[in-house]
Structure 1
C-alpha cells in the first residue's frame, strides 16, 4: 500500500531534491550585505528601508561617536545605497524601493552638509530635462534622484524644456552628460534638435535619452545619442563616462546588439 502521509511525501521530496530551497526575503538578502561596523550598519539599513528619520538618527550617533559628518556620505550613505543598487540589479527589489532609498539618502546628504564645514566632492554634473512639449516628468524625476543618490550634481531643467534652454545649460554648467526623457512620440524629436545644436557649438557631451516614446534605433541616429532603457541606467552611464568611456564605448556597453 502506498504511503501518502505528509511525512512520507516530505521525505520523497527531500530525497530527490524536488523541494525548493526557501528563498531569502529582500530584508534577509540586504542583511548579508550590510557593513559590520556598529556605527555604519544602522545607517545602511535605514537607507535600504527608506527611513529618513532613522538615517539622520544613525548619522547623528556616528557624529557623536567621533565620525566626521562629511566622510559619512561615502563611508555610510553610499555604502547603504550600494546595497540597494546590488539588490535592484539582482532583481530582488524594484524601482519604488530604490526611490524610497534614494530619498532617504538625499536627506542624509543634506544632514551631513549641514553638520560639516567642508563641501562634499561630487563625481560630476549632469543636466536633466523632459523634452520640449512633454509634461510627463516622472521618468526624469527618477533619473535625477538616482543620479544624486550616486554622487552626481544635477541641473534639473524640469519638464517641457525648450531646446535652447538645454543647450544654454550645457554651455553654462559644462556637464559630463545630458539626459532627456520623453513619453510622447510627438515630443521626442526635440532630442535631435538638442543634439544638432550641441554639435554645432562643439559641445560633444554624451546625450542619454529614454522614456516611453524612445527606442534605441531612434537615439542611435544622432551623433551624441546614448540610449538608456531604464532610469537606473543613468548613473551607470555617468559612472562609465567618469571611468573614461566615450560615446562609442557607451553604445557598445548599453545598446543591445
Structure 2
C-alpha cells in the first residue's frame, strides 16, 4: 500500500505565498530568514512604485504569518522563527524609514521577562507572533524591574501586558506587578507564562491570564480587541493547553 510523501515546510509555504510576484518574493525572503534579500526585494519594489507600508502589510507580515503557522504545526523550530523575525523586523524598519506615515496597527502590547530572570526565548517568540498578526509590541527586555513595567503600562496604554518567567522564584515578581497595576487603576489583562509558572499560581492573580503556549497570545489579543473581559479570558483558557 503506497503512502503519500510527507510535504516539506517549503512546499507548504510555496502554496501560501501571496500571488503577486513582488509580494511573493518578499514573503519568501522572510520565510527563509534572508535579511539581505528582504532589503533587496523591498528596495526594488519601492523604486518601482510600491508604497512601503503596503509592502509591510502584503509582503513582510504574510511571510512571517506562514512561519508562525508552520511553527504552530511543529514543522518549523525556534531558530527558524528567530531568523524570520529578524528578517521581518529589518524589513519593517527599512519600510518605515521610507514612508511619510506610520503603519496602522491593531493594538499595543507591553512584553517583558520578570525581574531576576534573564531567559527571554519565550518572550521573543511571543513578540514575533504578535508582530506577525499586526500588533505593536513594546519589548522591555529581560530582568525588568517592577517599577519599569508599571511605568511602561502607564506610558504606553497597552491593551494587555505579557510577562514570562523560567525561574520559579522569579515568578513572585508577577504578584507584585499584579498588585501594583490594581493600585494604579490599570486593570488590563496580564498574561503570564513560562516554565516558572503554572495555572494555579496565575489563577491567584486578579488580573492574571495563564498562557502555556506563546502561539495563543495573538488569539487572546484579538479577543481583547473584540471586547473580551479578563474574567471571560480566564474562564475560556482555564482548561486549555494554550
Q: Same fold (TM over 0.5)?
A: yes
- Is the 1:52–1:104 Cα contact (8 Å) retained in structure 2? yes
Q: Match for residue 147 of structure 1?
A: 130
Structure 1, 84-93 or 69-78: larger mean CA deviation: 84-93
Q: Match for residue 120 of structure 2?
A: 137
Q: What SS class does the counterpart of residue 129 from structure 1 fall into?
A: strand
Task: For residue 215 of structure 1, report the CA deviation from its aligned partner.
Answer: 1.0
Structure 1 unmatched runs, 5+: 1-12, 14-18
What are the equivalent positions in structure 2 for 1:1-80 lying under 5 Å apart?
Answer: 13=1, 19-80=2-63
Instruction: Give CA deviations for 1:118-149 in whole Å, capped at 9, x if unaligned.
Output: 11122222222221222222322333333334
d(CA) in 1 for partners of 2:90, 2:66: 17
Task: For residue 205 of structure 1, report the CA deviation from its aligned partner.
Answer: 0.6
Instruction: Give CA deviations for 1:153-190 in whole Å, capped at 9, x if unaligned.
Output: 32222222222221122112111111111111111011
Structure 1, 107-116 or 96-105: larger mean CA deviation: 96-105
Structure 1, 44-53 or 165-174: larger mean CA deviation: 165-174
Q: Match for residue 232 of structure 1?
A: 215
Which structure carries more helix by proportion?
2
Q: What SS class does the counterpart of residue 154 from structure 1 fall into?
A: strand
Structure 1, 234-243 or 44-53: larger mean CA deviation: 234-243
Q: What SS class does the counterpart of residue 197 from structure 1 fall into?
A: helix
With the length of structure 2 as denominator, give the TM-score of the two structures. 0.91
| Higher gyration radius (CA) | 1
Structure 1, 79-88 or 207-216: larger mean CA deviation: 79-88
Q: Which runs of 4+ in 1 moved over 4 A?
A: none
Q: Match for residue 192 of structure 2?
A: 209
- Is the 1:127–1:169 Cα contact (8 Å) retained in structure 2? yes
